[in-house]
Amino acid sequence: MAKGDPITDEKREEIRKQIRELHAEGKSRNAIAKILGRSGRTISEEAGHIGISFAARAGQVAAATEVRQADLADRRAAFAIKLQDIAEREAAKISQPLLYWDWGGKEHDFDTHLAPEPTPADKRALMGTVATALDRSLKLVPPKDESGVEEGLALITQLMSGLTAVYKAQQQDQEADEGA
């Protein structure tokens, strides 16, 4: 989509000068387009006329993007480990003694009680915490089961081959019956 006024011969030299300067400052094609109020295509065309290319920077941007994506994957994996730890810690509480406390009574006393295990309602709450932590952990870093995939594909291939053979045999029998 075109932006700005049409480029006249008078404006063209000024735009090309600005492109040279902004390119020398290390600005990207899209940044230059935004600064000058022009489309990216216009900037590329005008830059091409003065011998400027943005292709070299494309490789740098791609490499930087790849590094950033790898960093984010590492951070997701680290956070998935933290969520797994939370799930395991909370799951262990389900069968452990639990200290209950309360403020109450006429004198507003503080009281504690050590139960041999959590109440059913507290167990349900702990299970919800465990389930949520595990679910989020698995979404961040899904488990890899590559051996099952290969076996499944081999089984499907065998099945398709068998079905193809049966179909061909049926077709041949049908043709033989029609010919007789």
Residue extents of the structural domains in the chain: 9-57, 73-140
Token pair listed for 89:
């810690």
Over residues 76-85, mean pLDDT:
94
Half-sphere exposure for 16 (CA within 13 Å, toward CB): 15
Question: 91, exposed or middle or buried, with CB in 10 Å at 0-12, 13-18, 19+?
Answer: middle
Note whether 46 and 15 are within 8 A (CB). yes
Per the CB < 8 A criterion, the answer to whether 43 and 32 are in contact is: yes
Task: Note the pLDDT of residue 4.
Answer: 64
Residue 163 scores a pLDDT above 70: yes
CA atoms within 13 A on the CB side of 21: 8
CA distances (Å), 156 to each of 33, 164, 166, 167, 169, in order? Answer: 52, 12, 15, 16, 20
Question: What's the burial of 23, exposed, middle or buried (CB within 10 Å: 0-12/13-18/19+)?
Answer: buried
CA–CA separation, 170 vs 164, rounded Å? 10
Residue 180 pLDDT greater than 70, yes or no: no
pTM: 0.49
Is residue 146 predicted with pLDDT exceeding 70? no
